[in-house]
Amino acid sequence: MKPTIFVSILCLLTLAHAGTAPAQPDEWIVITTVPDTFRSCTIGEITDERVNLIRPGEVVRVHVDSIDVLVRRIDSRFWTGAGIGALTGGALGAIIGAAAHEEPDPGFHLFEISRGGDAFLGGMLGGIGGFVVGGLIGGASGGEERLDLSGHSQKNKLIILRQLRDENR
C-alpha cells in the first residue's frame, strides 16, 4: 500500500501548493478615449478626478473620464482542479473498487486480487480520471474579464474603480 500513500501525499501537496500560492494584485489593461492602452497596470490611488495606474517602473495618472475599457486576465486553476479531482476520484474509486470486490471461485487461479487490491486499483483509476477531469475544468476557468465603462458617468466610474482596487487589498 506504499504507492497509495505516495500518491495521496503527492495529491495533498498539489492542493496545498495551489491553495497557498501568494495572491498577486490583479493586472489590468486600461484602454482610454485618447487612443492609449496601458498594459500590466494595477489600480493605485484614486482621487475625485484622476486614478494612478501603477506599471513596472512608473506611475501614470489618468483622468477618470478618459477610461473606456478595463480588461483583467484571469489565471487558470489547472493544478487546483487536478488536485481536487485526483483526491475525489481516488477516494470514490477506492470505495467503489472495495464494494465491487467479488470472492473468486474455488480452484486454480493465475492470480487473485483481494478486496484491498480492488480498492487500490479503483483508487488509482479514479484518481487518474479525476486528475484529468479536474484539470480540464480548472484549466477552463481562466480567461478575460472585460468591463466597458464608456457609457458610465464619472461618479459610477469612480465607484467601480474603487471596488476593483479594494478587491486586491
The pLDDT, as a whole number, for residue 111 is 73
In a domain, 15, yes or no: no
CB neighbourhood size of 135 (10 A): 21
> In this prediction, what percent of the chain has a pLDDT beyond 90?
36
Q: What is the pLDDT of residues 134-148, one digit of tens each?
A: 999 998 887 888 889
Residue 96 in domain:
yes
Domain containing 118: what range? 76-141
Q: Could you list the beta-strand ranges (E) of the chain.
A: 28-32, 37-46, 50-55, 58-63, 67-74, 143-148
Residue 10 falls within a domain, yes or no? no
- CATH code, 168: 2.30.30
130 and 88 part of one domain: yes
pLDDT tens for the chain, 169 residues: list them: 455 566 566 556 655 555 545 456 678 888 888 778 888 888 889 988 999 998 888 998 999 989 999 998 877 889 999 999 999 999 999 999 999 888 877 777 677 778 888 899 999 999 999 999 999 999 888 788 888 998 899 999 999 999 988 876 6
Q: What's the distance, CA 160 to chain centroid?
A: 24
For residue 51, give the C-alpha cell: 486614478
Is 12 contained in some domain? no
